[in-house]
Structures are given as structure tokens and as C-alpha cells.
Structure 1
Amino acid sequence: MFHDGNYMVGMHGFWWLFWLLLMIGVWFFSRRGTSGWRGDRPRETAHEVLSRRLAGGEITPQQYEERRALLDRDAPKKH
């Protein structure tokens, strides 16, 4: 009837696995934070990307100035 005294081994193991997976899930999603999967690093602004591309040699200073002027033109006005 009790299978040699091991009648609760299966269910006991299930609950250990359940709580372990639940704790791992809570830890995993709490690590995401509010800034997404990238961790605590904030997202780059368009101006920062443009500056990084100029510093990396991807664009010329003339292209940088043209694109910065476009970004500044389209930016909302601060009062």
C-alpha cells in the first residue's frame, strides 16, 4: 500500500523542485530591472550615439555637424 515507506517521495520532490524554480524565476526577473535586459546601464541618447560614432571614426566631422544640426532642429524646445 505504501510502497515500502516511500509513498511521498514523488510529491515531496515535486514541491522542492517547484519552490526552487519559483525562486530562480523571481531572481531572474528581478535582475532585469526597469532598464530592460541591459542591466543598470541607461540607454544612449541620439547625441551620445552620434558622438560615439564620430570618436570611433565611423563618420566625419562634417557628417557629425550635419546630423547634430538635424537632431537639434527636431528636438522639442525647452522653455
Structure 2
Amino acid sequence: MELGKSLKISNLIRELRQQLDLSQEKFAAKLGVSLRTVNRWENESTVPSQMALKLIEEMLRKMGEPGKRLLKEYLLKAEQREDS
């Protein structure tokens, strides 16, 4: 899973976390990272590792329709930018 530079991973992470109704702390526990790491992702200080991105993508796919919408919004737009 790769995102185009103009699409903010912070927005995807925040929206996913809120749709799952998880605090940053609980979201971090699900991914096996620290609360500080999730906070840094959402504040655009750092970006998730490839492994974390794969776990996030799995979460999105398991969510059903809301996850599909987020995947389409963030991934397909990024892929379209890469193709052009």
C-alpha cells in the first residue's frame, strides 16, 4: 500500500481510527506500535512503515463498505497519480 505524496496518510489513519471508534492508544495496540507513533503519524511528523501500512490496509479491507470507500479514496487516487 503506497500513498501519493499529496494524499495525506495522517488523514487516512485518523479517519480509519475514528470509524473503528478507537483511541490513539487502542489503535496503536492493534498495530503493535506505541501511542506516540500513532500520534506522530496523525500529526505528520512521521509516516508508517511498510509493515504498518500493510496492517492498516488489512484493517480497511475487513471493515466492509466503509473500508472500501477509504481504500478507494486514498489508494486508487494514489495509483492513478502514479500511472499518469
Give the TM-score normalised by structure 1.
0.28
Higher relative contact order (CA 8 A, sep 6+): 2
Larger of the two Rg values belongs to structure: 1
TM-score w.r.t. length of structure 2: 0.27
